[in-house]
Amino acid sequence: MKVKWLGVLLLSAAVAAACGQGRAIFNVDVYSFLQGTGKDTVSYFVPAGVSASASSAPQKVNLPGVGSSLVDSVRAFGTADLRNATGAGTIGLQVYLAADSAGTFNPSALALTVPTKNVSGTSTTADTIRGDISAALNALFTKSQLWIRFQATASNPPPSVTPLQGKAVLTSLLLTVIIEDKFF
């Protein structure tokens, strides 16, 4: 509720100035909410021969809150560094979104799955986060806040005997929320 009126105000401004038939697009810099909190980093440690996942703590993201407006689509674009320290295997990232902190741990909160990347040895591999957020979660973006959590799923397949260890560090993430013209 705190910022819902801001959204209504912004959308109204859009209506007033743009006269309404176009779309309102909100570019939400999610990374700015994560930067400096430590929640932009997921540390992973996977013993040889198994797969495991690790996660950051959920982070709240403020949104303008657009009330009854219809969210047409939400597109994510970001980058991450996979800073591997030891071992070799694959790392995949998942993004979870929910209306509250605990909800981000529900399987239904899975918003986006980033294809796996191979990592090995001590190296940094750049990864790109790109794709449409699951449409089932569109309604979250009409609220004044949502929660986001990152998860890294690492696989350390045989015959490796070295633990796969490192960090997945988010370096940018922008969510583009496209709002249909139903502002009031």
Partner 1 sequence: MRPSFVGAGLVALGVGCATAADAQGVLTDARRIGMGGLGLEQSSLRRFNAAYRAVPARSGQRGQPKLTIPIPLGLVQFLHDHPHISKDPAFNRDSAGFDPVLVLNTVLNLPLFLEVKKAPTPTNDVVFGIGKDSLRANLGLTATLVPQDQFGISASSRPLDPGIDIKGVRVGVMGWLHDELQFQLGDKLLGFLADSQQAAHNTTYDVLVHGMVQGGLAPTVSYAGRIAGDTALGLYVGGALHYYLGVGYFRTDGTAGDSIGNPIFARPLNPVGQTVTRYSKAGNSLGHGVGGDVGFALVTGPIEIGVGVNDIGATITWPDTRTDTAFYKDSTVAGAGPSVAYSRPGPNHVETKTKLPVSYIANLAYTVGKTTLGADVLNTGRGSLVHVGGEQRVGVFVLRGGVARDQRKRMEFGWGGGLRFGGLGLDLGFWTHTNSLSNQRGITMATSLSIY
135-173: b (≥16 Cβ within 10 Å) or e: eebbebbbbbbbbbbbbbbbbbeeebeebbbbbbbbebb
- Does 29 interact with partner 1 (rule: CB under 8 A)? yes
> Residue length, the chain?
184
Q: For the chain, what is the largest distance between any 2 Cα atoms, rounded to a whole number of angstroms?
A: 64
- Nearest distance from C-beta of residue 168 to partner 1, angstroms: 21
How many residues make contact with partner 1 (CB under 8 A)? 35
The answer to whether 90 and 65 are in contact (CB under 8 A) is no
Binding of partner 1 by 27 (CB under 8 A): yes
Q: Give the residue carrying structure tokens 């239904």.
A: 108
If binding is defined by CB under 8 A, does position 24 make contact with partner 1? yes
The answer to whether residue 54 forms part of the interface with partner 1 (CB under 8 A) is no
Pick out residues in 66-125 that bind partner 1 (CB under 8 A): 67-68
Q: Which two tokens stand for residue 99?
A: 């209306």
15 binds partner 1 (CB under 8 A): yes
Using rule CB under 8 A, residue 184 touches partner 1: yes
By the rule CB under 8 A, 2 interacts with partner 1: yes
Chain residues in the site for partner 1 (CB under 8 A) = 1-3, 5-6, 8-10, 12-29, 32-33, 35, 62-64, 67-68, 184
